[in-house]
Amino acid sequence: MPGHPRPEPALATLCHDPFFEDGWLYERKLDGMRVLAERRGAGTTLWSRSGRDVSESFPEVVEAVTAATDGDVVLDGEVVAFDGPRTSFERLQPRIHARGASAARARATPVFYYVFDVLSVAGDDVRRRPLTERKRRLRAAVRPGGALRMTPHRVRADAAVLGDACARGWEGLIAKRADSRYETGRTKAWLKFKCEAGQELVVVGWTDPEGSRSGLGALLLGYHDQPGGDALVYAGKVGTGFSETVLRDLRERLDALAVASSPCTRGKLPTAGVHWVRPELVAQLAFTEWTSAGQLRHPRFLGLRTDKDPADVVREA
């Protein structure tokens, strides 16, 4: 807003090795849109992670924040939509792209703002205060109601808690150092423990590397519609989980299998900077979920499987 720099959020770092120790707080990881809510005077502005004003997309959140606070405040939280008990980014999409508050209200999807931190209260910048103190200030400054809800946390957790979260269809957990300050940008005081599933997929090609990346940009993946079936369905690509050594080794293997056209018979294929191969390699992947378009969300390469016949690779339930 004029005369005030827009607030910028702290960002959690992905951690593939969950741990549970004293001195950390644990919250549910929500699958929504990160939003900082800034109330000044009688008005509230919602800022996206990238600094875009998204107030018109979520007018009920603007109203809820204004009603829930008595003075100037900057809140941090996640705007979500639900699909049953699960938060769903796909269900949130029509609201994100609605043009104007009237169009947003006309959408049938209700949204909620789950608040988990506070940056400023009544002009007092509390970002240098420990997280536990900020949590207390947050509870004192906000009256939950309407579209505004508080994100609960726990001071102790274990592998069973994470397992239960995954079984409930949650995205995972966020672990935060109890004594940490609020740091703008990526911080290791906040960590993401994601629920991940496993899937074997056939390597059907690769993309060109970009920037300083060597070997390849990403592996292109597919699966058979049934064991031994002729139809090979395109399942997207994976571009993370590779070391430099693995990238070089994969590129050598792929060059030896290169073909002129895609082996996939179904699915929307990429066209820019792609190369296709005979479907003879099987990759092991970790991922969070299948999208409605039939592709992996947040896939991560774990390695090649030499004990699996590519013809037997199907999409697992």
- Please say whether the beta carbons of 144 and 77 come within 8 A: no
pLDDT number for residue 150 = 97
Indicate if the pLDDT at residue 104 is higher than 80.
no
How does pLDDT run across 267-289, given as a tens digit for each residue?
889 988 999 999 999 999 988 88
Report the range of poorest mean pLDDT among 11-20, 82-91, 241-250. 82-91
- 61 sits in which H/E element: helix 59-68
Q: Which of 29, 176, 194, 237 is catalytic?
A: 29
Average pLDDT, the chain: 90
Confidence at 138, pLDDT banded by 50, 70, 90? very high
Confidence at 1, pLDDT banded by 50, 70, 90? very low
Confidence at 148, pLDDT banded by 50, 70, 90? very high
- Which of the 8 DSSP states describes residue 231? -
29 is catalytic: yes
CATH 3.30.200.20 assigned to domain 197-312? The reply is no
Give me the residue spans of the domains in the chain: 10-194, 197-312
Mean local confidence (pLDDT), 290-305:
88
Q: Express as a percent the part of the chain with pLDDT over 70.
A: 95
Nearest residue to 78 via CA among 38, 37, 45: 37
* CATH class label, 10-194: alpha beta
Name beta bridge partners: 34: 78
Mean local confidence (pLDDT), 86-108:
75
Is the fold of 10-194 the same as that of 197-312? Answer: no
Encoded tokens for 304: 């090649």
Q: How far apart are CA 111 and CA 171, in angstroms?
A: 17
Q: Classify the phi-psi angles of 185: left when phi > 0, otherwise alpha if psi is within -120 to 50, otherwise beta.
A: left
Name beta bridge partners: 87: 82
Measuring CA to CA, how many Å separate 301 from each of 225, 250, 272? 22, 12, 22
How does pLDDT run across 235-257, given as a tens digit for each residue?
999 999 998 889 999 999 999 99
